């Protein structure tokens, strides 16, 4: 088959008219495009799409041409600077350049390298403008417990993490983010995104969002159901609002996509509402313009809640944002193009494709009370963005099928809400049967039984203290990867006292939050989580599949025992760890930082006398290098820097990932010209010291062989500065 296909392709190339290149129609179209081209042009037309949305009247009268014209234009690239304020206070930037132009233009090569490097180091996020809206409308506070139900690839998750860390002086906020995704492989993309921000308050889990398990936590020695203060419900959708960047949607779009996804979206939203705390806020969002995926889901959820949920009026929360109110009336189109305005008119043969929850409520009073106009629909031509839909729901009381449950541990109605849908839900993209959602009473005592079962398992002596492994289910071994356990360091572990002494850790250091990923052999790496996530981990190991949590704070050296401490500091967790370290801290100047970041093992004599006087009396081993800004010198860098380093025999080296190193150099005004060179090389503009040979290595024969040996042993331990995130 492969040989035949290649033969056909060769024949087609020979038959092309002269001047026709890259498969483009019209002769020199691709030649004119230059670096832009490469793929056949997709015709940006879909008559069914146009007919459908013109009939539904989601676009204001007289604006249809502008709407379609905007959809056919490439989506502008946008980026968000990592920060903890609201946008667009100069922390979110909108360009007039498409992603393709940024990637392919020779003139923008340096700018593109800058974007990639800063994104990898977590300082910016390249995120679509409308995608930033749902986290903003959640109004997150640092103490909030947050669930992101369909989190991959993770751009919204990183926003939520940033909001938790609004106070940079607090290493461990009281809140946390549990980021979930049904796709095991996409969970690792989510881990990569979250790791850029180095937060101890994020946990990535792998579950079907429509049946995500109810978790429990320990409160004063009692097991209580975990309810979330904020829930982001950014559900899988047909994605017709993304036509500007996903141009395949033009030829693939049909009404069937929405009909198939509606049931899944409603089940996910229902499960989210069940797990929301009273007074909490849930944002439901899609990148679809279709009311079957948008208003129909919200209307059905509100109707089922019987007053437990209500739509919040958020019209004043994002001033400057242009949006259209939700629509109150719509109709449903079947796969063959036939319209239905009422469920009663749908023939029995179509009942598997079209469901009653897809239609607006018949009762005018009930419809008016829902306030569907409070939903937000963002149209592409209004602010040169993608299309999007957002609805903000506030929970007033328990869902009606939870109110009849017996009290759990004497708690209020808020914590009695613990119904769970049947786990046998259809997979994403399949037609859903809403009848399963209309009879929730069958699971009224489901979570109570789960908690009792978990307590029995924990009390039967088979579960090891402090070990949080994946659920011991055969099903988990069949799907996805088997994860290593999460093992908390016990109080009497001999591993910790040498670390505590070597770094003079403050008595307030929460050592109970340290964990490893192995139950046997040497512990290679130590991670840290917040105490709230520790509580979640310890009380839910039997029902939750955790992919990743915690930030790396220490790595083992193979030869570390020679230096009084077997573990060196890891840059990933240094900003969390630094407030607790009282020893082995060297304060460096801005010139010292430049030298340390551009030369691999600079001798003490290359550094300032102040730095040398601090380093000369320290024993060999891991150190903290701290730069404090000088407010009197406004030309100097005005933000603090904390780096991990190694004090060798006669030199100091840093252990900073490449992209973070480039970031610090940029902030100090150093022209970084060697981004693609091997890590550790000196930028050409910085080769000013005659004692180097141009490679960053001293030409003195008394080179610090001990320092080089230490660097090798560190890397051999699987703990290099730019190593992959732990699995």
Could you list the residues known to form a binding site for S-adenosyl-L-methionine, using ranges.
Answer: 150-156, 181, 208, 234
Q: Let me know: does 535 contact 172? Beta carbons within 8 Å.
A: no
Which residues are paired to 230 by β-bridges? 146, 281
**Pairing mode of beta strands 145-148, 176-180:** parallel
364 in helix, strand or coil?
Answer: helix
Q: Let me know: does 301 contact 269? Beta carbons within 8 Å.
A: yes
- CB burial readout 413-432, b (16+ within 10 A) else e: ebbbbbbbbeeebbebeebb
Q: Which of 339, 251, 317, 326 is nearest to 296 (CA)?
A: 326
CA distance 323 to 72: 20
Q: Let me know: does 431 contact 260? Beta carbons within 8 Å.
A: yes
CA distance 276 to 290: 26
Cis peptide before 153 (omega within 30 of 0): yes
The residue from 187, 201, 233, 287 that is catalytic is 287
Widest CA span of the chain, in angstroms? 90
Query: What spatial distance separates the first Cα and last Cα of the chain, rounded to whole Å?
Result: 39
Strand order of the sheet with strand 76-81? 92-98, 76-81, 124-125
Task: Give start and end residues of each alpha helix (H) in 403-508.
Answer: 413-416, 446-459, 474-478, 496-502
Give the H or E element holding residue 590.
Answer: helix 590-598
Q: Which of 164, 136, 88, 148 is nearest to 390 (CA)?
A: 136
Q: Let me know: does 100 contact 37? Beta carbons within 8 Å.
A: no
Q: Which of 683, 705, 699, 698 is nearest to 603 (CA)?
A: 698
CB contact set of 174 (below 8 Å; sequence gap of 6+): 142, 143, 530, 532
The DSSP result for 267-285, as a single string, is: HHHHHHHHHEEEEEEEEEE
Q: Residue 107, exposed/middle/buried by CB under 10 A (0-12, 13-18, 19+)?
A: exposed
Is 565 noted as a catalytic residue in this protein?
Answer: no
Binding-site residue ranges: 150-156, 181, 208, 234
Q: Which of 607, 493, 565, 550 is nearest to 727 (CA)?
A: 550
- Positions annotated as catalytic residues are 287
């Amino acid at each position: 088959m492969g040989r035949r296909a290649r033969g056909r392709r060769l024949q087609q190339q020979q038959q092309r008219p002269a001047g026709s290149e890259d498969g483009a129609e019209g002769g020199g179209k691709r030649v004119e495009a230059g670096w832009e081209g490469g793929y056949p042009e997709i015709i940006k037309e879909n008559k069914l799409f146009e007919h459908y949305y013109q009939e539904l009247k989601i676009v204001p009268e007289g604006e249809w041409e502008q709407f379609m014209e905007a959809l056919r234009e490439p989506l502008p690239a946008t980026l968000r600077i990592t920060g903890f304020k609201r946008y667009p206070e100069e922390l979110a930037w909108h360009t007039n350049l498409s992603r393709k132009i940024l990637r392919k233009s020779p003139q923008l090569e340096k700018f593109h390298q800058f974007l990639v490097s800063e994104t990898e180091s977590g300082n910016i996020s390249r995120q679509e403008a409308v995608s930033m809206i749902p986290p903003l409308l959640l109004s997150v506070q640092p103490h909030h417990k947050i669930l992101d139900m369909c989190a991959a690839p993770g751009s919204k998750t990183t926003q939520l993490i940033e909001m938790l860390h609004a106070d940079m002086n607090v290493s461990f906020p009281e809140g946390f983010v549990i980021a979930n995704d049904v796709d095991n492989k996409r969970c690792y993309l989510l881990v990569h995104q979250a790791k850029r921000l180095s937060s101890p308050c994020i946990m990535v889990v792998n579950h079907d969002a429509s049946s995500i398990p109810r978790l429990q936590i320990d409160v004063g020695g009692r097991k209580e159901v975990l309810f979330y203060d904020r829930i982001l419900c950014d559900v899988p959708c047909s994605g017709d609002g993304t036509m500007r960047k996903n141009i395949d949607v033009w030829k693939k779009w049909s009404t069937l996509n929405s009909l198939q996804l509606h049931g899944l979206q409603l089940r996910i939203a229902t499960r989210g509402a069940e797990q929301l705390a009273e007074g909490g806020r849930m944002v439901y969002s899609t990148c679809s313009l279709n009311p079957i995926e948008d208003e129909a889901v919200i209307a059905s959820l509100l109707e089922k809640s019987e007053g437990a949920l209500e739509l919040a009026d958020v019209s004043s929360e994002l001033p400057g944002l242009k949006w259209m109110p939700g629509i109150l009336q719509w109709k449903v189109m079947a796969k063959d193009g036939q319209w239905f305005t009422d469920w009663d008119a749908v023939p029995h043969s179509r009942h598997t494709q079209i469901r009653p929850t897809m239609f607006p409520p018949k009762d005018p009073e009930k419809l008016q009370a829902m306030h569907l106009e409070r939903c937000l629909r963002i149209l592409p031509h209004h602010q040169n963005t993608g299309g999007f839909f957002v609805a903000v729901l506030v929970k007033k009381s328990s869902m009606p099928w939870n109110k009849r449950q017996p009290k759990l541990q004497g708690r209020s109605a808020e914590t009695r809400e613990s119904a769970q849908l049947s786990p046998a839900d259809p997979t994403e993209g399949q037609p859903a049967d809403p009848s399963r959602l209309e009879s929730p009473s069958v699971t009224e005592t489901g979570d109570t039984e789960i908690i009792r079962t978990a307590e029995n398992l924990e009390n039967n002596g088979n579960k090891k203290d402090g070990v949080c492994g994946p659920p011991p289910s055969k099903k988990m071994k069949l799907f996805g990867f088997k994860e290593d356990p999460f093992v908390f360091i016990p109080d009497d572990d001999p591993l910790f006292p040498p670390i505590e002494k070597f770094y003079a850790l403050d008595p307030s250091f929460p050592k109970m939050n340290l964990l490893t990923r192995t139950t046997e052999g040497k512990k290679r790496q130590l991670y840290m989580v917040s105490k709230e996530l520790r509580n979640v981990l310890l009380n839910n190991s039997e029902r939750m599949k955790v992919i990743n949590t915690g930030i790396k704070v220490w790595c083992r050296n193979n030869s570390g025992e020679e230096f009084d401490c077997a573990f060196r500091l890891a840059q990933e967790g240094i900003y969390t760890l630094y407030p607790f370290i009282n020893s082995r801290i060297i304060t460096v100047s801005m010139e010292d930082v430049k030298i340390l970041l551009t030369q691999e093992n600079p001798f003490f004599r290359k550094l300032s006398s102040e730095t040398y006087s601090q380093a000369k009396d320290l024993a060999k081993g891991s150190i903290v290098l701290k730069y404090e800004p000088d407010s009197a010198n406004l030309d100097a860098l005005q933000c603090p820097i904390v780096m991990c380093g190694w004090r060798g025999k006669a030199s100091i080296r840093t252990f900073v990932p490449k992209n973070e190193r480039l970031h610090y150099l940029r902030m100090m005004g150093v022209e970084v010209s060697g981004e693609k060179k091997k890590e550790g090389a000196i930028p050409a503009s910085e080769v000013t010291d005659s004692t180097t040979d141009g490679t960053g290595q001293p030409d003195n024969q008394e080179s610090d062989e001990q320092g080089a040996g230490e660097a090798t042993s560190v890397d051999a331990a699987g703990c290099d500065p730019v190593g992959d995130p732990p699995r």
